[in-house]
Amino acid sequence: MLSLVLGGLSLVTALAFGKVPPLFQRQTSSNVTYSMNVTDCPGYALGSLQESDYGLTAQLTLAGAACNAFGTDIKDLTIEVTYASQSTVHVKVYDTANQQFAIPDSVIERPSPPTTSYSKSSDLVFNYDASPFAFWITRRSDPDAMPIFDTRISSLPPTPIPPLNASDPSTAFDAFPLVFEDQYLQIASALPYGTNIYGLGEVIASSGFRRDIGTDGGVGTIQTHWNRDDADPIDQNMYGSHPIYLEHRFNETTNKSSSSGVLLLSSAGSDIFLQTPPNSEVSLIEYRMVGGILDFYFFSGPTDAEVIAQYGATIGYPMWQPAWGFGFHLCRWGYANISEDMANVAAMRAANIPLEVQWNDIDLYHAYRDFTTDPVSFPGDQLREFIQQLTANYQHYIPIVDAGIAVTVNSTDVYYPFSDGIEQDTFIKNPDGSLYIGQVWPGYTAFPDWFGENTQAWWTDALRNWTEMGVEFSGIWLDMNEASSFCSDSCGTGANLSALAPLSVAGTVVTGYPECYNETLWGPSGNMTINGTSTDSCIPGTTTMEKRGVGAGGEPGININSPPYAIHNAFGPLSHNTLATNATHYGGYAELDTHNLFGMMEEKTTHLAVQSILAGKRPFLISRSTFPSAGKWTGHWLGDNYSKWQYLYLNIQGVLQFQIYQIPMVGADTCGFNDNTDEELCNRWMELSAFVPFYRNHNTYGALPQEPYRWDSVANASRIAIAARYSMLPYWYTLFANASTNGLPPVRALFYEFPDEPELFTVDRQWLVGSDILVTPVLTPGATTVDGIFPGRGSVIWRDWYTHATVNAIPGANTTLDAPLNHINVHIRDSSVLLLHQEPAYTIHETREGPYSLLVSLNAEGTASGDAYVDDGISYPPGPSTTLTFQASGGTLKIESKGFYPIVQKLETITVLGVQKPTTVTLQGQAAQGWSYTEAIEELVLSDVSVDLNGETTLSWK
């Protein structure tokens, strides 16, 4: 039991940390027999209510005999309700004695308490019943609608409800009382039948971006939040935890939608159930947590983008990205030496495939130790020279940093990151105060304690020393930070540290290929054709997806000793392949309570370190394990995916999910990480990834090389797609500026922009970049066409990005589009004005130095609008900026400039789509020279105009 472990360590740990930590005041339950059933739990009664201009505070008291279902019931609770803004209500329920773990404000900064009263004006209203206590959240603007969140038992389906999985009793719903125990919390809410739920990740859901709520033939969802290192599993917990969901609610009577959001800001291990019991008229969500408190935030929207922005205002908006971060990145595990890096960079340039950033995986290290370089393969002086050559060519370099720090094996083993960490007390401890030792690539490892008082300075010094050794990085890649350990528990404590050598992958050869390529017939090239014969053995549409059983946490042979409620961690025991739940942090915090915070806290620490080392420049980080607020500090890649067509599709939902989570700089390992890719799959993936925020090709050790120059067809497709991406950089950059200042998502599901079209609610094979660019990729092998829906039901004009021709779309249904191998379908929405780079170059710097062009796509009424944010692309904090606004109507385009950043580059070309053939065209009141008109696509083009974007400009046609 957890309490028995903690009871034996309190004195030692208190001495080790110099104080008695709050954790050890927690109620223990060593002499309690748990009922393992909530049927008889009495709930709570509300009293001692105090109202204020900002909300209310009250006491909750256990309403009967303790049930001790999976822990000891806590008798006295406090509830605080705060109307934080017009759109956000904060409901916090915690033990009055403050013994349960709550995320410290020092870890995630919360908004300041309101100074304006919103209790009478907020769109959300907190309602409650006193006994048994329950609450529900309604809209002031729609008071008769079903509540956004409703914990009343009378609103929920009748219980008991049999298990979803007959072999797993824990999937039953015995009853729906509010349960608040030291090791178990439970709360449930009714939802509209079959409503649309998105989020609750990180997950690769077999149901798609829209979560399975148990209707429409689905079985429901159990989303477990316990961060773990597993290669992109389907329907299981994985690298990150994000207990936030977006509900898109559609009223079939009015044919109108509204959206809301719910965040439970808790790092506790948990199961979140989405379910619709048989014969129920409502669906439900239930939270089951193994500790912590109930810390809810409710967001009123009412649009999807506004919900996401309101969430960002609560946990922090995303970091400012450097402009170069939007370039193409290249990496693999298996670049064996600096010569391979150099050859790779040269080959990319020889093929004229833009390369912005070269990365190195753990091959870089000496004996797999962080903050080192291999003296033979990557000598520091040669690496410095290589990186400085990249810099001279306006390119960049990013190395990997793993979370585990190697433990020295004897007195002659000199490794300062470890010895300095010991001296400065920066590592996680065992319960008895000794060093916690696990195992990762270098052998036995210690793990940084991000709560430690000296950890920030120690980590910054380690990174700074690395740069002085030659690793002059532009950004950092954080991996293995769930934290991942190759053994369970403190396996190195007391061991012979020299007996475990670093792991070796030498000689590893990957033999798997995508499902359409048979290497036993065609050999190891992965080519689409060999001697003129196609190697494709797939029938389009036959690739399949695997789905696990929902009972992983309760399957026979699974041994979860603590806590008593076994969340559905797919590894079973919570300490498997990660830190033990009783590992102890500075301040006495137990790993059980803080586990899900590890990656985010490393990201925060690293961001601040890089900000110090690269003074005046924006940090660029990509990381694996994430948690709410991580986007303030890092971007994210979608983990160790597979070179399968299935995962080409699945990475779209990952990108869409992380827009909700306020981590918009996200993308998958292009062409796949695990297994071998092949020519066709890599073609389609290089095209797709050019239209998501983070664009990196990366694969595993021993696999077929997959750099885009390896196949001529992939090189050709890559050049075309990257040229389009680099043209759009001003648009991408503006979207991310809006994310960093207002929390608006740069990548959007189609229904965000077209909320009242139910046919879009499950679409996750297409997406929008901002509001104006629609992307429709090929996701199946052997295809030369692709089906895609064009939102707007015929009210919107969509034009082809490449040809500017209008699409003859079928309203509300799929339209078939040509999609040859080197082509990804991209379309421009009407009513839009896009500032573009006219001459995409080899690097982002060179592209930004070139001229601009402007693309105006008029609607049927002849109007369009847009804006663009411009600054130097690198300064931290953001320095002077200029915002350009574009308005077109009545045959006139007006450009206005506001700000203090001087735009040196000229606007050279203006293209207006949707224009009837003009007879006169004027620019700044003078007859324009050199304009042309193409009647077939209603296109007016003005070339060589050399417009200064620092003032006001008027273009007219009639």
Q: DSSP 3-state helix, strand, coil percentages of the chain (rounded to 5)? A: 20, 25, 50
Is the pLDDT confidence value at 11 over 60? no
The pTM of the full predicted model, rounded to 2 decimals, is: 0.94
| Active site annotation includes 482 | yes
Q: Which tens digit of pLDDT belongs to each residue from 201-213?
A: 999 999 999 999 9
Which alpha helices (H) appear in 431-530, and where do they start and end? 455-468, 519-522
Q: Report pLDDT for 882.
A: 98
Among candidates 138, 141, 238, which has minimal Cα distance to 190? Answer: 138
Is the pLDDT confidence value at 503 over 90? no
Please tell me what DSSP assigns to residue 817: E
Among candidates 485, 538, 505, 440, which has minimal Cα distance to 703? Answer: 505
Work out the pLDDT band at 925, boundaries 50, 70, 90: very high
Work out the pLDDT band at 519, boundaries 50, 70, 90: confident
| Active site annotation includes 479 | yes
Mean pLDDT is lowest, of 140-149, 438-447, 504-513, 676-685, for 504-513
Instruction: Kindly state the average pLDDT of the residues 581-606.
Output: 95
Q: Report pLDDT for 15.
A: 25
Instruction: Kindly state the average pLDDT of the residues 268-277.
Output: 97
Residues in a beta bridge with 81: 56, 91
Q: Which tens digit of pLDDT belongs to each residue from 20-75?
A: 233 322 333 445 689 999 999 999 999 999 999 999 999 999 999 999 999 999 99
Percent above pLDDT 90 for the chain? 88
Mean pLDDT is lowest, of 463-477, 578-592, 600-614, for 578-592
Percent above pLDDT 70 for the chain? 94
Please tell me what DSSP assigns to residue 100: S
Is the pLDDT confidence value at 452 over 60? yes
Q: Report pLDDT for 539.
A: 55
| Active site annotation includes 216 | no
Q: Report pLDDT for 545.
A: 38
Amino acid identity for residue 209 in this structure: F
**Alpha carbon distances (Å) from 366 to 280, 377, 379, 918:** 60, 9, 10, 68
Q: What is the 3-state secondary structure (H, E, C) of 764-806?
A: CCCEEECCCEEEECCCCCCCCEEEEECCCCCCCCEEECCCCCE
155 touches 162 (CB < 8 A): no
Separation of alpha carbons 879 and 873, rounded Å: 9
Q: Report pLDDT for 464.
A: 98
Catalytic option among 341, 479, 602, 908: 479
Average pLDDT of the residues of the chain: 93
Is the pLDDT confidence value at 547 over 70? no
Q: Report pLDDT for 515.
A: 82
Dihedral of CA 22/24/30/31: which sign?
Answer: negative
**Residue 213 CB burial class (10 angstroms; 0-12, 13-18, ≥19):** buried
Q: Report pLDDT for 540.
A: 53
Catalytic option among 271, 356, 640, 939: 640
Work out the pLDDT band at 520, boundaries 50, 70, 90: confident
Instruction: Kindly state the average pLDDT of the residues 666-686.
Output: 98
Both tokens assigned to 809: 């779309």
Instruction: Kindly state the average pLDDT of the residues 235-262.
Output: 98
Q: Report pLDDT for 918.
A: 97
Which domains, from first to last, does the chain contain?
44-315 (2.60.40.1760), 323-507+564-601+618-734 (3.20.20.80), 749-957 (2.60.40.1180)
Work out the pLDDT band at 710, boundaries 50, 70, 90: very high
Among candidates 958, 854, 954, which has minimal Cα distance to 912? Answer: 854
Q: Residue length, the chain?
A: 958
3 state SS of 275: strand
Q: Which tens digit of pLDDT belongs to each residue from 214-244?
A: 999 999 999 999 999 999 999 999 999 999 9
Instruction: Kindly state the average pLDDT of the residues 623-643.
Output: 98
Is the pLDDT confidence value at 388 over 50? yes
3 state SS of 2: helix
Amino acid identity for residue 871 in this structure: D
